[in-house]
Amino acid sequence: MSNVKAQSPSSARRVRKAVLPAAGLGTRFLPATKAQPKEMLPVVDKPLIQYVAEECVASGIEHIIIVTGKGKNAIEDHFDLAPSLERFLEEKGKKDQAEMVRRISNMVRVSYTRQKEPLGLGHAVLVARDLVGDEPFAVLLGDVIIPGNRPATKQLVEVYEATGIGAIAVEQVPREKTHLYGVVDGEPKPQAPWGQRLLRIRDLVEKPKPGKAPSNLAITGRYVLPPDIFDCLARTKPGSGNEIQLTDALRILAKERGLWALIYEGISYDAGDKLGFLKATVEIALQNPELGAEFRKYLKSLDL
Ligand code: G1P
């Protein structure tokens, strides 16, 4: 059993940037996404992408790079200053709301780049290459939200900064659902502080056919990767769905540089999917300090 000693992160291992691919067409959520980006769908009172940006900030990320496409301008407006709205709120005496609106545009540095054609998740990440440069970075899928106090991205950053090897978040899913995800074949490499939750990836398969999944450990949509992934992406041919898949580039990275899978602590919601979105809404509403208690009462009152 190899034991990688945790060491203090050298500056080259600091994870300062995150790429948020947000160019997808959101076809699983039509018609809601016909004229608005799926990343702007609100869960309780915030758009999906704000939850993801907040996870970045809570994970120590200083610069977010959002990969957009046609029809995604609302995302840029959301993170921009809104002087007339702020003035309006202040004139009405709604100082708290004005402050909340201001906080969104000040919370982190955001840059945008566009994926001009929908060539896949891997291609979307490759589009961010120049903005990321030669340093490690996180990738967070804009439609997956992971509520809770221990951000999944932070957990991966800790693995990367201690070992210098990329790490991706995985979680157990029912066998009959593995065809919806990237699935990993990993060898447990228990070590403190992660124990059995850390695995060395032997292989990965994107959306395996039923019965062909190497395990039930599915990729959750959170990654921390070294810049070497860009060369792997540049060498990746179209795969599942005839798209350039991030998972296929990770196969190359795992073979050439090594890659960890971390069974992270937390629960993810695929809010780009209608049922996942409903579940996220209920969970997050129940935790909401203003609405939670009354909403719980309401749910209990339903004769289900
Ligand atoms: C993407 C990834 C897949 C991952 C999933 C998580 O697929 O390609 O490996 O498991 O996100 O949500 P998508 O859901 O975009 O088809």
Structural domain boundaries in the chain? 14-287
* 48, 173, 181: residue to mutate for ligand 1 pocket, most atoms within 8 A of CB: 181
Question: For the whole model, what pTM was predicted?
Answer: 0.93
Residue 113's pLDDT is 97
Question: Looking at the predicted structure, is the pLDDT value of residue 4 above 70?
Answer: no
Question: Is any ligand 1 atom within 6 A of the Cβ of residue 247?
Answer: yes
* 219, 246, 253, 264: residue to mutate for ligand 1 pocket, most atoms within 8 A of CB: 219
Integer Cα distance of 6 and 191 in angstroms? 9
Q: For 231-248, how does the pLDDT look when each residue is reduced to its tens digit (9 = 90+)?
A: 999 999 999 999 999 999
Nearest CA to ligand 1 atom 10: 181
CA 221 – ligand 1 centroid, Å: 6
Tokens coding 136: 């490690």
Q: How confident is the model at residue 9 (pLDDT cuts 50, 70, 90)?
A: low
Question: Is any ligand 1 atom within 6 A of the Cβ of residue 182?
Answer: yes
Integer Cα distance of 260 and 13 in angstroms? 15
Question: Looking at the predicted structure, is the pLDDT value of residue 149 above 90?
Answer: no
Of ligand 1's atoms, which has the minimum distance to the CA of residue 181? 10
Integer Cα distance of 260 and 156 in angstroms? 9
Residue 10's pLDDT is 63
Residue 232's pLDDT is 98
State which of 8-17, 103-112, 123-132 shows the largest mean pLDDT.
123-132
Question: Looking at the predicted structure, is the pLDDT value of residue 153 above 80?
Answer: yes
Question: Looking at the predicted structure, is the pLDDT value of residue 109 above 80?
Answer: yes
Question: Is any ligand 1 atom within 6 A of the Cβ of residue 141?
Answer: yes
Q: For 272-289, how does the pLDDT look when each residue is reduced to its tens digit (9 = 90+)?
A: 889 999 999 999 999 999
Question: Looking at the predicted structure, is the pLDDT value of residue 87 above 50?
Answer: yes
Tokens coding 60: 């120590």
Q: How many whole angstroms from its chain centre is CA 182?
A: 14
Of ligand 1's atoms, which has the minimum distance to the CA of residue 241? 16
Residue 41's pLDDT is 95
Of ligand 1's atoms, which has the minimum distance to the CA of residue 240? 8
List 187's β-bridge partners, or say none.
200
Average pLDDT, the chain: 93
Percent of the chain with pLDDT over 70: 96
Question: Looking at the predicted structure, is the pLDDT value of residue 68 above 90?
Answer: yes
Cis peptide before 227 (omega within 30 of 0): no
The beta-carbon contacts of 177-181 under 8 Å, at least 24 apart in sequence, are: 177/218, 178/208, 178/210, 178/213, 178/216, 178/218, 179/207, 179/208, 179/209, 179/210, 179/213, 180/207, 180/218, 181/207, 181/218, 181/219
Pick the CATH number of 14-287 from 3.30.60.50, 3.10.20.740, 3.40.228.10, 3.90.550.10: 3.90.550.10
Question: Looking at the predicted structure, is the pLDDT value of residue 66 above 50?
Answer: yes
